[in-house]
Amino acid sequence: MLAFLKAAPRGMLIAVAVAFVFLNGLGVWQLYRLHWKEGLIADLARTESMPAVPVASVLGQPKPSWRSVTLPACTIDPAHLINMHSEMDGTPGFRVLTACPLPTETNLLIDLGFSVNRLTLGAPVNIEPVGRLRPSEKPGVIAPVNVAASGEWYTRNTPDIATAWHTPLRPDYFLVLDLAASKLSLPGLQQGPVTAPLPNRHFEYALTWFSLAFIMLGIFVAFVRQRQAQQ
């Protein structure tokens, strides 16, 4: 072992050691992510068969995500309607967003559904919202910036929307409307997915990082052995 270490170039030995620890660390991180994702999937499955309940009875619970809930009767204000750039099944279009009041002194962002063209309302529309609670999403690093002045929206950024509407919005959750259960029918509005897709490939990613670490180590060992043989 001592002879092997002496034969290995010092700089390369240090670099390989650091990279080996780093790659294995990424693998361990993916295993943590695997456990986290399995918890989300379990939460989603747990709520599938639960009936819709008043939103106020759910928001105070430890895990309200994905629950089917009802909101008090609400009037969609045509001035509080956002068409957010999106796509569904490969078709570009817009997610149509509005807000409805909660029993507390704030409002909840509502995702009404998907429209191929920008949706506008000529008059207020009354609904009795039924849908699924979903955790609010933080905009990604490369996500375009919302431009409220020109009506170009790319993310459900509740602070941006609250500022544009001068309306307080709950920052942690939004509702994806169930059009059929809410008895809402608007020209061009389609039902969007009420739950988010939750792919779980973290175990594959972990194996990839672990494999890269040991492949690199094997190449380094082979290089040093060849170097020893030539000396």
- Say if CB 96 and CB 164 are below 8 A apart: no
Q: What is the CA radius of gyration of the chain?
A: 26
More confident residue, 32 or 226: 32
Instruction: List the beta bridge partners of residue 111.
Output: 97, 176
- Say if CB 213 and CB 20 are below 8 A apart: yes
Percent of the chain residues past pLDDT 70, beyond the cut: 96
State pLDDT tens for residues 76-130. Answer: 999 999 999 999 888 999 999 999 999 887 999 999 999 999 999 989 999 999 9
Q: Where are the domains of the chain?
A: 10-41+201-230, 67-182
Closest CA to 206 of 82, 19, 27, 37: 27
